[in-house]
Amino acid sequence: MVDKEEDKKVDSEWKRRAREEKSRAAAERAATEPKQGDVSHHEASGEGPEARAEFPQPNFLVFISTLASQALLALGEIEHPATGKVEIDLPQAKYTIDLLQLLQDKTKGNRTDDESRAIEAYLYDLRMKYVRRST
């Protein structure tokens, strides 16, 4: 009989904790969800909840990789995410590569070794792709 009593005690304790956790989670959701009548940025722009994405922690490496991706898109190296088509825009590619160069120049002495290697590699790779595309 002791085992059954102990099982009931453990089971009821588990259920109590589960109810508390469920209530706590509901309260957190209610605190972060928009109130009735509020319009979120996504809803105002016509995007639904599925359009919301988790963003990486902002840092220099993420920033330069975003610029490099934009240059690759303009060079026709990757498909445009909205259209699924390869679109080449050499003036845009050059501008984005020039922005990366500006960042390299302006951040000299303030980058980590990894950041310096990354921006140098991006610039080299993008310039080579640009030369191949423009000839």
Q: Are residues 35 and 80 in the same domain?
A: no
Task: Pull the structure tokens for residue 19.
Answer: 């109810």
pLDDT of residue 53: 74
Q: What is the pLDDT of residues 28-57, one digit of tens each?
A: 666 655 555 555 544 455 555 555 678 888
Cβ atoms 67, 126 nearer than 8 A:
no
Report the number of distinct structural domains present in the chain: 2
Same domain, 96 and 110: yes
Give the side-chain half-sphere CA count within 13 A for 58.
0
Residues 69 and 37 grouped into a single domain: no
- Same domain? For 39 and 67 the reply is no
Residues 98-134 pLDDT 10s:
999 999 999 999 999 999 999 999 999 999 999 999 9
In a shared domain, residues 32 and 66: no
Domain co-membership, 82 together with 35: no
Q: Name the DSSP letter for residue 46.
A: T
Looking at the structure, tell me whether residues 62 and 120 fall in a common domain: yes
Residue pair 49/56 in contact (Cβ under 8 Å)? The answer is no
pLDDT of residue 105: 98
Main-chain dihedrals φ then ψ at residue 13, nearest 5 degrees: -65, -45
Which residues span the domain enclosing 75? 54-134
Residues 62 and 126 in one domain: yes
Q: What is the mean pLDDT of the chain?
A: 81
Do 62 and 44 lie in one domain? The reply is no
Same domain, 78 and 98: yes
Closest to 125 measured CA to CA, from 63, 67, 72: 72
